[in-house]
Amino acid sequence: MQPERPLDQIRLVGIAATGYHGVFAHERRDGQTFVADVVVHLDTRRAAASDDLAHTINYGELAERVAAVLSGEPVDLIETVAERIAATVLAYGQAVAVDVEVHKPQAPITVPFADVVVAIHRDRTRLPAAEPWRPPVESSAASAPTPVHAVTAVLPQVPAFIPDDSGPVGAVLSAVAVPAPPAPEEPVVGELVSDVLDAVPAEPVDVVLALGANLGAAQQTLRDAVSDLARVRGVTVVDVSPLARSASVGGPEQPDYLNAVVLARTTLSARDLLRATQAIEQRHGRERLEHWGPRTLDIDLVVYGSTLAVTDDLELPHPRAHQRAFVLEPWAQVAPDAVLPGLGGGPVALLAATAPDRAGIRWLALDWLTAPVLPEPAPLPQPTLEPTPAPGPVPAPDPTTPSDPDAGSPPIHAAAPAATTAPGDPGPLTWAPVRDASDEAPGSWPT
């Protein structure tokens, strides 16, 4: 099992302010210096990719808020101060977890000491026992009556006849003051949030999709999912890998997975393709109840052309593809020369041979899309020690026994289920052992 990738950190060290916290009257009256160290755990990749402060935490603003907690409403315990600081940090949506240390170097202790520190860790599953700091609401004075402005507009001049002949016909009357028509509203300037993952490609893009299932009729579900992908408008399925059975990686104890890789071309944007795969997952009863938990169907977008992107809903290439043999091994069989782009990438066959979870692959089925659906393979039989026979004379060979060692029944792979077929039925699945990279070149496959 691979550990979770550690998050990035923003550290604010030595934020100091005069506070009035403590259980003694002189602490509340005279105040003293409090110091806070704050470590924010978050993912800074989207901010780095876009160079946009909106996708990270403004540490200048955060420092001011931490100082406001230190100098703010007095409390008896610095434990309470630490909880308030943690809550203030987690009020930022980008923060996943926070470490807080509150120092009270001038604490009223009667023996020599260097410092008093309360240190806590809080995250989204263990929330702080306090409310976050909020700016005080300024009291507004009684508002003065708003003056009413009279608007006078001049209508088009209206010609009129003059009773005598002293002036020309069509002399202009004086203008009449009337209310002006309302001015048109100012247009609302909005921002259409878009990134490279919303861009529709000018030409079809090669994509790699990883399919997995370990609940229900997993093989049939994966078959149906391949058909569903082929029916998506804008998606053309190019090839489908062998079917791999593999042990689960991470998450709770759960059944083995069946996995396959689909190579396709698409004219959809990356995000539209993601939505299409999620719709197929939901059609097959996918429920996201537990992180890395069992599932009826999982479809991951591994590669979308040469796109490198990090967003809240999609990261390309898939961030853990270079470590997952259950993706790399089937992919290498259907595309031996494939290369995984991005950080940690490289030749897929070579990555498959060195993947940390390689030992968890049980077998690969070559014709799983066309052969009958078979029951789950039985576990590998454990070797049993036969009793050693007592020495004695060697019996003469039976002339009715074939002497050719290959004349018996054809061997069946240990992990493959035995199956019989009626005349005219398609043959059973063709099983193959996982290749040993130490004996053969990467990408080779015994048949």
List, by residue number, the catalytic residues.
104
Cα–Cα distance list, 106 to 17, 35, 127, 182, 386 (Å): 13, 11, 29, 65, 77
Within 10 angstroms of residue 233's Cβ, the number of other Cβ atoms is 8
| 317 cis-preceded (ω within 30 degrees of 0) | yes
Task: For residue 391, give both structure tokens.
Answer: 């020495």
d(CA 214, CA 259): 9
Cβ-count burial 56-91 (b if 16+ within 10 Å, e if not): bbeeeebeebbbbbbbbeebeebebbbbbbbbbbbe
Q: Which residues pair with 178 in a beta bridge?
A: 153
d(CA 144, CA 132): 35
d(CA 341, CA 337): 13
Task: For residue 420, give both structure tokens.
Answer: 């019989």
d(CA 184, CA 186): 6
Q: Are 257 and 214 in contact (CB under 8 A)?
A: yes
Cβ-count burial 383-419 (b if 16+ within 10 Å, e if not): eeeeeeeeeeeeeeeeeeeeeeeeeeeeeeeebbeee
- Strand 153-154 and strand 159-160: pairing? unpaired
DSSP H/E element including 34: strand 32-42
